[in-house]
Structure formats: structure tokens, C-alpha cells
Structure 1
Amino acid sequence: MRTVHNGGAVDEGESPAHAAAREVMEELGIATVADRSLAVDWVSADGFGARPSLRFPGEIVHVFDGGTWDETRITEIRLPDHEITGIEFVEPARLRDRLSPSDARRALSALRARINATGTVLLENGLPIAPTVVDRLAVLHTVRAELHHPWREGPSPHERAVTQVQGWLFAPDGRVLVLLEPETGTACLPGGVPEPQDQGDPASTLCREAVRHAAAPLGTPLSLGHLTDPRTRHTHLRYAARFTDTGTPPADPDTGRSHTRILATPEQATQLFDGGEQTTAQLAAVHRGRRRLGLPMAAPQPVAELPGPTG
């Protein structure tokens, strides 16, 4: 997920949705329909730069979902001869470097609502009035780890060193377990680094690390594929596995803090990582693994926190 932010004011007698579509056409030359609302933000009287006579009762800002644009759509962008001098797609955490503080807060809250599938979220000065776990931990506030290495299905070639093993760990309803770092909101799949006691078996690495970091005992893992860094030739393995219960969240041995555990659909989970072009291929492999495990496809729903032991 990399974002571009644009918009403008509503003309007299114009609806917010029509204004959003008009501004996209005027600023980017792209015809679109603003038919999915992400957020409605009430900005207090002191929160924007209008003169005092216009500050009551504040400002209402609508945020719409412009969709995901592929390379073909991006090449169709035509900038006007005035006002707009360039565009840039940026990592969500970089919005704070490009926008005013209030606009950045609003955009990040809207992006979290997009991931969380909660429908239109109500904001006050850019912050949700009913924050979810992804808001509370400020997901997307920190730059996500970039992992754009090519995706290959099947086992890793023996001559390549395995430096990481991670799993798409499925609950019975088809959602997957994701860990959020409590200080930064950074997301990761359960897993870790192979150690001598694993005796060269990546599945053993995954099972050990899933208990160590997520208190989630696993069934037999299924190999999905691997990512290989072309510079170092190091390989990151990906597995699918099923879990049916979790224990008390353990403290990370390295930091002394516990990860926050959430359940998300696989599609929601991919938005928490910066996987690049390989994301589509890996997601397809994840769903093939889900079907092999005999699990249903998770229905769209908000992200849910797992605070304690579950069954």
C-alpha cells in the first residue's frame, strides 16, 4: 500500500462525493466515482486556517477511497498546466513528511479504517472517536519493512541459506494470526530464525517460534514457497499451518514486551506489510494452503485482538 493524497473544497450546491470526483479529474485527469467513504472528520474551529468569522461550527472533511491503481491507470495521469507540479506515491508512514499534521492524521486514520473494514469511521481532528486496536497501536505510523524479493513456490534450493521462517497461521474461521509490535505498531507474521535445536528442519523452527512469540501451538505446517534476496542469496521461507487455541501472550525474550496478537483476513494482513509486486502471488499460495488445510475463506470483518488465552 502506497498512497497519493489529493482533494479540495466543495462548490456551492455540490455533494462531497461529486466534489471528490471533480477534484481528481481536475488535478490528475482521471475519471473516477467516489462511491466508498472511508472517514468523516470534524475539524474544530481552531483546527484550520479560516478567518474567525468563518470558524464556527468548524469544518467537515470527507475522505473517500480512491481504490488501488495499477500501472496502467497511473500512466493515464495527466497533470494540469497550473496548480499541480508533480505527484508521488509514498509509504503511509511518510505522509507525515509530506502533509500538514492534521491532514496526515486524517489520512492515516482513513487508511486504518480501510484495512479494518469498519465502514465509514467518524473522526474528530483526524482521530477516531471509537479507536480500534490498529488505531491504538498506531499501525502504519512506522515505515513497514520492505520485502520485494521474488516469490517462488516450493522448497528453497539447498545451496541457499535460510535466514527466516514465517507462517500464515490460520484460525478455524480462515483468519490468520498477525503480531503487532507494541511500541511501533509494526506487523509481522509469527516465525523467526532457525536455531541448532531445529536440526535443519524449517517446520520445527516455525512451530517453536509460534509458541515462543504467539503462544500458538500448531498443526503440521505446509510449505508454501520462499522469497530470496538476490544480493545475499538468503532465503525467507513461508508456511501455512492451523492453530485452534492460544495461551497467554508471552513476553519477547529479546525485549521483555509481549506482542499484540490480532486476527485478520489474509487480505487485511497483506496491507500491513510492504510486499511489493510479489504480494498477489504469495496471497494466491496462501489461499491454496488454506484450502489444503480444509479451512473456509474468512468473511470480510474488522481486525480482532486476541488479548488472552483462547480456545
Structure 2
Amino acid sequence: MTTNPVSNDPPGTSMTDEEYGHLRAAAALWAGTSVLITNVQGEVLVQQVDYRTTHLLPGGAVDERESPAAAATREVLEELGVVTPIDHGLAVDWVSPDAASAPPALRFPGEILTVFDGGTWSEGRIAEIRLPPSEITAIKFVAPARLPELLSPADARRALSALRARINSGGTVLLENGVPIAPTVLDRLGVLRIPPPSYHYPWHLGNAPSELAVAQAWGWAFSGDGRVLVLLDPETGTAVLPGGKPEERDQGDPASTLVREADEEASARLGTPLLLGHVTDPAGSRAYLRYAAALKGLGPARPDPATGTTYTRILATPEQATALFDWGTAAGDQLAAVHQARQSLGIPRAAPQPVTELPDPTTW
């Protein structure tokens, strides 16, 4: 019995089923899984294991006749003692034979490794974790920027690429040795590889008390589709909202500070700002105001006169934007206020979608 010629056969030839099966078996690859799990602060779960010096994401080898998703579910249960649904892939990585530091005796043929989204775990679910008696010695949640310090270089590249794919809401990303074959702006700038500034400050609705000095005025600038303007530092990948420090020419009006800074930093034209609330520093002596405003248009990108930085401008959903900052547990409270302001401005809620880079002038 013969098969029809297949696309990778030499022209004009055919093979028996046995020959074709032998050919495919000779090209067999390993298959593995990893699972990306975060807490509500955006920190990533990593495992300390007893058989290597670097940490790992949960996961492991795919067993014979097992699907990658079933393997990921099984590994999370074996390693963390928690049953969790695995139904979304973040990344598929081709790990080439020459890219892995595997001992020659393993005869490593290359691996297809799928990174699944394990979701964001609450404190209650984290408390359910039960480690096995061997192999996994400890777990911890770490900031994304610490992954290169704790994981092997290849594992860190893959984990950060998967995390950016999750934030980007762009479907499953294809990797080669941990590097996206079609990098997004988040990949290109290395977003999250450097710790963002930490502002674990309490959130308060409304204006700041008069005795507090206003240190900054930042704004959530909404496009017509419900996304907001975010500025990325091209050198570090650090994200900021438009805004900045008050100056004398603002005449004590923080809203004027926001409008001026948005123009200087991003060539952004804003509508009338709507005050959302403020955060206060640990000393309770300074306030950082947050506004919402309609984004009317963008001019040509130019250097910020205060820093000399020409920011990369992107549109992101408010949820994507929040994932780029380190605001602690108060981030959820601020996000709720942002959506209330969006409704007051008559702007629809943004649909999940990839972030969009804005290199050119545009008008809404």
C-alpha cells in the first residue's frame, strides 16, 4: 500500500507508509509546556527546584499521547496542587538544538514549547498552593524585570515574550529561541525588562487637601474608541501617562499643567480635563493628581524639552496601560475611577485588541 506524494517528498517519488513513518519519526522533536501565572500586582510565579540552579515557570514535558494543554493542567496540579483551567496559549517557541545547553548524551533534537496562560490568581487561590514532597522546593512571585536574574536566559526571554503577548491581547505569539518572529512595539522596546517606577500609594477620589503640595498631574487621554495614550521611553521601555510637574507658568492650575505637558511630551491635544482623584506619597506631604480627558489629536513626535526624550506613543486599553505600571493594590481602585470618567466623557469601553503605535500625526 502506498500513500500519495506529500509536499516534502522529492518530486516524482512516493513512499510506503512504513518509509514515511520512519522519515517523520527521525525528525521527531520534544514537546514541553510552561504556564504563566501572575498575582493581582502583576508579579510572575516562579519555582525553585531541587535539580537546577535557576528557577522555572510551572510546567514540564508532554507525555506520550498527551496534548500540550492537558500536560500543562497536569503539571500545575502536580507541582502546585491546584486544579486550574488551561484554555489559552500565549506563545509557541521553537527551541533549536544548538540553542539549548543540553548535555550531548541527551541528544536533544529541538523542542516545541507552548506557554499557556494560567491567569491571575487571587490571594485566596495562592493560599491553596501545596508543594509536592520533592522537586519543587519553594515558589515566589517576582516582578517581571527580575525574570532574567532568576531564570535561564532562554527561559526569561520566553517568559517575558509571553507576558507581553498577554498584555498585548494579540493572540498567541510565535517565537524562535524565545524571540518573537514578528515583534510588537512592546517587544521591540523591551517593555517590562526594567522595573517601572513603584508608586504603591493609596488612591483617593476627588481633589487633594489644600495643605498638600501637588507634585504631578497625569492624565488618562481617551481616543474615540476608548483606548488611552501611553508614552514609552525608547531606551528603557518604561511606560508613563502624559503629564508632569507643575511650573510657575501654569499659575497654580494642575489641569493647565497636564495640557501643557501632554503637548510637550507627546504633541498631544487634549479636551477639557476632568479630575478623577489623587494618590499621596507615604509621608502624606505630596499629592499626585489624576485627570481624564478626550484626546483630540497628535502632532509630529518631537523631543520632550525637559528630558530630550522622544517618546514612542501607543494606544492601549486602560487595562493594558495599568499592566505596564507598578501601582500596587490601589491600581484597581484607580482603574474603576478611570472607567467612570470615561462614561462621563461619553466614550465607549475599548474592546480587547493589540496596542497600536502612533508614529504619525492623527486627529480624532
Question: Which amino acid is 2:303 matched to?
Answer: A
Match of 1:24 among 67, 72, 76: 76
Structure of larger gyration radius: 2
Match of 1:159 among 211, 215, 218: 211
Structure 2 distance, partners of 1:52, 1:164, is 59
Cα deviation, 1:16-56, whole Å, max 9, x if unaligned, reads 11111111111111111211100000011112215367333
Residues 191 and 238 of structure 2 are in contact (CA less than 8 Å); yes or no, is this contact kept in structure 1? Answer: yes
Structure 1 distance, partners of 2:254, 2:279, is 14
Question: Which amino acid is 2:311 matched to?
Answer: H
Residues 86 and 117 of structure 2 are in contact (CA less than 8 Å); yes or no, is this contact kept in structure 1? Answer: yes
1:275 to partner: Cα distance = 1.2
User: Alpha carbon RMSD of aligned pairs, Å?
Assistant: 1.1
Match of 2:104 among 51, 73, 76: 51
Question: Which amino acid is 1:300 matched to?
Answer: P
Residues 266 and 304 of structure 2 are in contact (CA less than 8 Å); yes or no, is this contact kept in structure 1? Answer: no
Structure 2 distance, partners of 1:286, 1:148, is 18
Structure 1 distance, partners of 2:328, 2:313, is 24
Match of 2:337 among 285, 288, 292: 285
Structure 2 distance, partners of 1:250, 1:137, is 18
1:12-91 → structure 2 map (5 Å cutoff)? 12-48=64-100, 49=102, 51=104, 54-56=107-109, 58-91=110-143
Cα deviation, 1:166-223, whole Å, max 9, x if unaligned, reads 0000011110000000100000000000111111111000000000001111111000
Question: Which amino acid is 1:54 matched to?
Answer: R
Runs of 5+ in structure 2 lacking a partner?
Answer: 1-41, 46-56
Match of 2:166 among 114, 126, 149: 114
Structure 1 distance, partners of 2:290, 2:133, is 48
Match of 2:321?
269
SS of equivalent residue, structure 2 residue 220: strand
Identity of aligned residues (%): 63
SS of equivalent residue, structure 2 residue 231: strand
SS of equivalent residue, structure 2 residue 278: strand
Runs of 5+ in structure 1 lacking a partner?
Answer: none
Question: Which amino acid is 1:144 matched to?
Answer: P
Question: Which amino acid is 2:113 matched to?
Answer: V
1:142 to partner: Cα distance = 0.7
1:125 to partner: Cα distance = 0.3
Cα deviation, 1:83-113, whole Å, max 9, x if unaligned, reads 1111110000100111000000000000000
The total of aligned residue pairs comes to 310
Match of 2:179?
127
SS of equivalent residue, structure 2 residue 229: strand
Q: Is residue 3 of structure 1 aligned with residue 28 of structure 2? A: no
Match of 1:297 among 328, 341, 349: 349
Structure 2 distance, partners of 1:37, 1:183, is 30
Structure 1 distance, partners of 2:321, 2:173, is 20
Q: Which has the higher strand share?
A: 2
Match of 1:212?
264
Structure 1 distance, partners of 2:332, 2:111, is 39
Structure 1 distance, partners of 2:165, 2:99, is 22
Structure 1 distance, partners of 2:287, 2:294, is 23
Residues 314 and 358 of structure 2 are in contact (CA less than 8 Å); yes or no, is this contact kept in structure 1? Answer: yes
SS of equivalent residue, structure 2 residue 121: coil
Cα deviation, 1:60-80, whole Å, max 9, x if unaligned, reads 100000000011011111111
Structure 1 distance, partners of 2:232, 2:356, is 12
TM-score for the superposition, normalised by structure 2: 0.83
Match of 1:233 among 282, 285, 307: 285
Structure 1 distance, partners of 2:340, 2:98, is 52
Structure 1 distance, partners of 2:237, 2:343, is 30
Structure 1 distance, partners of 2:226, 2:142, is 31
Structure 2 distance, partners of 1:137, 1:223, is 31
Structure 2 distance, partners of 1:47, 1:234, is 50
SS of equivalent residue, structure 1 residue 108: helix
Which of 1 and 2 has higher RCO (CA within 8 Å, sep 6+)?
1
